[in-house]
Amino acid sequence: MKIRIFYDNINYRIKGSRKVLKFIEKVIRREKKTPGDLSFIITNDKELLKINKKFLGRDTLTDVIAFDYSDRDRINGEIYISIETVNRNSLNYKVSLREEVFRVLVHGTLHLCGYKDDNMKEKMKIAKKEDFWIAEFKRTK
Neighbours of 85 (CB within 10 A): 19
CA nearest to 97, candidates 108, 85, 109: 85
Q: Tell me, what's the pLDDT at 71? A: 94
Predicted pLDDT of residue 140? 83
Give tens-digit pLDDT for 63-74: 999 999 999 999
Domain positions in the chain: 2-139
Predicted TM-score (pTM) of this structure: 0.96
What's the pLDDT tens digit per position in 87-128? 999 999 999 999 999 999 999 999 999 999 999 999 999 999
Q: Which CATH class is domain 2-139?
A: alpha beta
Per-residue confidence band for 141, with pLDDT thresholds at 50, 70 and 90: low
Any idea how long the chain is? 141
Query: Is 80 exceeded by the pLDDT of residue 85?
Result: yes
